[in-house]
Amino acid sequence: MSELALTLIRLAFLGLLWLFVLLTIFVLRRDLRQPAETRPTGRARPVKAPKPAKVARQAKVRGTKLVVTEGPLTGTVIPLNTAQVTIGRAPDSTVVIEDDYASSRHARVYPAEGAWVVEDLGSTNGTWIDRTRITTPTVLPVGAPLRVGRTTLQLQR
Amino acid sequence: MSLTDPQSVRRQPSRRGAELLLLICAWALGVLGTLQIGWATGEGTPGRLWVTVAVVGALALVMHLVVRWKARYADPILLPVATLLTILGLVMIYRIDVAAAQRAERNNAPPPTPDVYAQLTWFAIAVVLFVAALILVKDHRRLQRYTYSFGLLGLFLLVLPLAPIIGTTVNGATLWVRIGGLSFQPAEVAKILLTLFFAGYLVVKRDSLALVRTKFLGLGFPQVRDLGPLVIAWAVSLGVLVFERDLGTSLLFFGLFITMLYIATQRRSWLILGSIFFAIGAYLAYQLFEHVHNRVTVWLDPWTYADTTGYQIVQSLYGFANGGIMGAGLGQGFPNFVPFANTDFIVAAIGEELGLTGMFALLLLYAVLIERGLRAAVSVRDSFGQLLAAGLSITLALQVFVIVGGVTRLIPLTGLTTPFLSYGGSSLVANWVIIALLIRISDRARRPDIQHFDADDALTQVVRRV
């Protein structure tokens, strides 16, 4: 085998080795972007906040489940029956969220007058329905984003 | 409407295609490397080459299919990178075999037995264990139940080489256990078991270990009675050092325990305490043990001892120098000038034949592998899994640092195997089991599972707070 051919093979080997490294990094990069796109609230499919008029009408309709749409528990479905649901970092909460921005006992969702009501339990960073921080027990409209720390939940029918 | 449909949440791609592509690329690298060695050394393409290549390809494919079947959402990088490292190891071992055979021929000595086929057999065993680990460990959280059993078994394996009859001393280190014709290093398996134990133990005990009693220099230090585990870990690693004369393993265990303690409690004071303990241990070892003393002297000035104790490291440095930026080319260097070129010093052989370019690629591969392990640790939800994945990745990281640092004379040389590359069955098998566990954890971390909560048995169903 000639010297030239061997040099070429040598360079080809190093080239292929680096190609592998670059491919790996390419996969990594796509991988980092992927979850954001699949998240329903991600760039690809922006969430439209329900119009206030619609909220008022929907408020009378009882939801049957809470769905986590954002945060570490994304995709989790919490069926609602008659019991209250507590949200927080405390291990005995119904929905335990691992989030430094959430308090141990952050909020609770309980049924009242044919609707689901959210009450903030004195959390540090507050409980938000859409863009509004709630200070008193507030009716949770179907479809509105309920934000606790970095987690977003949604009441669904 | 996307917003109300939980189904839309689950469309996390599994990325198995990317994994297959990378695996094929790794396999092609192995074929090219072997061919290059054949041509460059004038050995041609031996008949067994195609069989070997086919076997390696089949083993990689089996692992890929098992991951597809058992851990669909696992990280797509872990498997191909580990496979490429193993393949590079096989190629380099083959290269050193060829060099040894040619040297024997020149000296009219009987040809030495090639190591590459033994390594290939070990790779096959590693694949079997990899598959078994993925099938048996359906959920890594189950491993937490056996915390103390793992700990005891790990300690038992660690002291096993000291047992009479079966324990064997090779090159001054009592590391091997020989039963019949088979010998293995129990410390490699103990490494995994003790990581499992540390993870399980720290999950339970971390709160008390994180307690701050005394403040000193602006850092909170734990209570004295919580120092117990630290002292025990220190004593065990020193014991390994004293009785088995194994510097590398002892360093690995101590480093592993300190880092896991730090990750579990998030207290920097553990790192500081650990460094102090390490300094004391290192100073004592330096004063008391001749082999430690030797290593440090050689590290500081290898050229004085170039013909005796420093021969190995000096040859390794010559190798790196000969390699230069682009390397001498596979089959064109002199890797067998370094004693133990295919175990401890395989990195020197790679540095010579692939050069700085190849070394950087190699270290990047390790970095990517470790980063993916730590990524799995960050994204998995249960704290046992987090600690386990972090601990396993750190084992790999420490091992690479200790051996590559030693071979390049950044730190004193300690005998440790280079993960996946070095010739040696126990190390290869243990590291593949680590990859299997990391794949299992990353699968759990990335799986877009829809869990159904029920308010009634929420206590058992909810994901525990970390």
Quick check: B451 pLDDT over 60? no
CA distance B227 to B195: 19
Query: Within a domain: residue B361?
Result: yes
Across the beta sheet with A132-133, what order do the strands follow?
A77-79, A65-70, A151-156, A145-148, A127-129, A132-133
Quick check: B290 pLDDT over 90? no
- In this complex, the residue of A40, A80, A98 whose CB is nearest that of residue B2 is A40
Whole-number pLDDT of residue B32: 93
Block means of pLDDT (10 residues each) for chain A, 157 residues, are 85 93 88 51 40 42 77 79 81 79 84 82 83 83 84 84
Record the tokens describing residue B460, joined without a space.
Answer: 């058992």
Q: Give A135→chain B minimum CA distance, Å.
A: 25
How many A×B Cβ pairs under 8 Å? 162
Query: Within a domain: residue B3?
Result: no
- pLDDT band at residue B41, thresholds of 50, 70 and 90? confident
Whole-number pLDDT of residue B180: 65
Check if A56 contacts B (Cβ < 8 Å).
Answer: no
**pLDDT by residue (tens digit) across B354-402?**
999 999 999 999 999 999 999 999 888 888 999 999 999 999 999 999 9
Alpha helices in B337-382 (DSSP H): 346-379
Mean pLDDT of B101-120: 87
Check if A24 contacts B (Cβ < 8 Å).
Answer: yes
Instruction: Look at B8 and A40 and tell me if their CB atoms are within 8 Å.
Output: yes
Across the beta sheet with A107-112, what order do the strands follow?
A95-96, A85-88, A107-112, A115-120, A138-139
Quick check: B446 pLDDT over 70? yes
Mean pLDDT of B61-78: 92
Quick check: B167 pLDDT over 70? yes
Hey, which residues 121-140 in chain A have their CB within 8 Å of chain B? Answer: none
Check if A4 contacts B (Cβ < 8 Å).
Answer: no
Mean pLDDT of B268-274: 83
Check if A72 contacts B (Cβ < 8 Å).
Answer: yes
Q: Cα separations (Å) of B370 from B70, B89, B399?
A: 22, 18, 11
CA distance B463 to B455: 13
Over pLDDT 70: what percentage of chain B? 87
Query: Within a domain: residue B408?
Result: yes
Q: Which residues contact B181 (CB under 8 A, 6 or more apart)?
A: none
Structural domains of chain B, count: 1
**pLDDT by residue (tens digit) across B129-158?**
999 999 999 888 889 889 889 988 988 888
Instruction: Look at A21 and B361 and tell me if their CB atoms are within 8 Å.
Output: yes
Whole-number pLDDT of residue B5: 42
Query: Within a domain: residue B75?
Result: yes
Query: Within a domain: residue B2?
Result: no
Find the closest chain A residue to B85 by CA distance: A17
- In this complex, the residue of A18, A31, A95 whose CB is nearest that of residue B361 is A18
Query: Within a domain: residue B9?
Result: no
* Residue range(s) defining the domain that contains residue B229: 16-465
Whole-number pLDDT of residue A37: 39
Q: Could you tell me if B92 and B336 are in contact, meaning their C-beta atoms sit under 8 angstroms apart?
A: no
Query: Within a domain: residue B4?
Result: no
Find the closest chain A residue to B357 by CA distance: A14
Whole-number pLDDT of residue B441: 94
Mean pLDDT of B305-320: 88
Whole-number pLDDT of residue B82: 96
- pLDDT band at residue B4, thresholds of 50, 70 and 90? very low
Among B37-51, B220-234, B316-330, name the one with the lowest average pLDDT.
Answer: B220-234
Whole-number pLDDT of residue B232: 77
Average pLDDT, chain B: 84
- pLDDT band at residue B413, thresholds of 50, 70 and 90? confident
Backbone angles phi, psi at A117, to 5 degrees: -115, 135
Hey, which residues 13-72 in chain B have their CB within 8 Å of chain A? Answer: 13, 15, 18, 21-22, 25-26, 28-29, 32-33, 35-36, 39-40
ipTM of the assembly?
Answer: 0.84
Check if A19 contacts B (Cβ < 8 Å).
Answer: yes
CA distance B70 to B63: 10
Check if B354 contacts A (Cβ < 8 Å).
Answer: yes
Query: Within a domain: residue B232?
Result: yes
Whole-number pLDDT of residue B221: 64
Among A94-98, B157-161, B452-456, name the one with the lowest average pLDDT.
Answer: B452-456
For residue B13, list chain A residues with Cβ-Cβ distance below 8 A: 34, 38
For residue A87, list chain B residues with Cβ-Cβ distance below 8 A: none
Query: How many C-beta atoms lie closer than 10 Å to residue B434's C-beta?
Result: 27
Mean pLDDT of B416-426: 89
Which is nearest to B380 in space by CA: B140, B144, B214, B138? B140
The string over B59-71, giving b where at least 16 C-beta atoms fall within 10 Å of a residue's C-beta and e elsewhere, is bbeebbebbeebb
- In this complex, the residue of B5, B330, B372 whose CB is nearest that of residue A10 is B330
Which is nearest to A108 in space by CA: B452, B9, B458? B458
For residue B373, list chain A residues with Cβ-Cβ distance below 8 A: none
Quick check: B91 pLDDT over 90? yes
DSSP state of B184: E
Backbone angles phi, psi at B23, to 5 degrees: -65, -40
